[in-house]
Amino acid sequence: MSIQNIMVIGAGQMGSGIAQVCAQAGYSVVLHDMQEEFVQKGIGIIQKNLNRSVEKGRLDESEKESILSRITASVSLENASNADLVIEAVVENMDVKTQLFKMLDQYAPAHTILASNTSSLPITEIAAATNRPEKVIGMHFMNPVPVMKLVEIIRGLQTADDVYETIESVSKKLQKVPVEVNDFPGFISNRILMPMINEAIFAVYEGVATPEAVDEIMKLGMNHPMGPLTLADFIGLDTCLYIMETLHEGFGDDKYRPCPLLRKYVKAGWLGKKSGRGFYNYGV
């Protein structure tokens, strides 16, 4: 299956990163969001990343302009009519995703693969919203996308072998390392990472140690590049809570219950770096 034109839905941090690596790999990319200002903000993020690469000598000016020329802005889902592959990177909410995939199923040609960048939600359930479940697959990039090498490729119940092989090939062309995972809540990355973060929050909640102490122990004792509470702030505490709730509901096991302190911070609007306050104060 030949992939030439890729549409990325969602121009936030993840979506803009996905669009950037696709354009760098030579694909024609349509970057879509609900409003023009969102798309332009995403393209601005890409320009900033590419300018940094030029400054560091990784790209020259002509290469940067060539990459940018392969990215087109979109505010109409009808532009999916030209896509060979659509990669969805919208909010981590099942209702939003299933509604979007229903609409994409109508606009995209029959050959188009529909991929989701979901970090925890069932691909099988997303696929069931379409009339092409065999062409729906998970393509979970890591943040920041231009830097991180891993792509978790998640097969839904009906994902066809040739669709998996195509996405594996695309991932390699993006200079990523694809790893196959079956469709279970949280897949592998978040099934392991989020309970660790949640347990670190429990350690603070129970008064075992301060956030600074927990992070220092994990960095110096376990050789983690970033402590779990700093990482939680960067991911977003609301996202961490949502994934823990998905794991708790999906497995029905109380070992995945979200820490009450995590819930408290989210209710207070302390979402981490993006809100200026989480386990640390970012002075925004």
Identify whether 55 is a catalytic site residue: no
- Residue 23 C-alpha from the chain's centroid: 17
Hey, which residues does 6 pair with through a beta bridge? 29, 85
Identify whether 119 is a catalytic site residue: yes
Residue reference for tokens 């998970």? 138
Residue reference for tokens 């347990």? 199
Identify whether 190 is a catalytic site residue: yes
User: Catalytic: which of 32, 74, 92, 140?
Assistant: 140
- Asked whether the beta carbons of 82 and 38 are under 8 A apart, the reply is no
Residue reference for tokens 């029959």? 110
Please tell me the distance from the alpha carbon of residue 33 to that of residue 36, in angstroms, as a whole number. 7
Give the other-Cβ count within 10 Å of 1's Cβ. Answer: 16
User: Catalytic: which of 116, 117, 152, 198?
Assistant: 152
CA distances (Å), 235 to each of 49, 87, 175, 278, in order?
A: 19, 20, 23, 11
Which one-letter DSSP state was computed for residue 79?
G
Give the other-Cβ count within 10 Å of 75's Cβ. Answer: 14
User: Catalytic: which of 16, 49, 119, 120?
Assistant: 119
Identify whether 152 is a catalytic site residue: yes
Q: Starting at the edge strand that comes first in sequence, how are the strands of the sheet with 150-155 ordered?
A: 71-74, 28-32, 5-9, 85-88, 113-116, 136-141, 150-155, 177-182
Please tell me the distance from the alpha carbon of residue 89 to that of residue 151, in angstroms, as a whole number. 14
User: Catalytic: which of 5, 16, 171, 190?
Assistant: 190
First and final C-alpha spacing in the chain: 47
Tokens of 166: 């195509």
Q: Which residues are known catalytic residues?
A: 119, 140, 152, 190
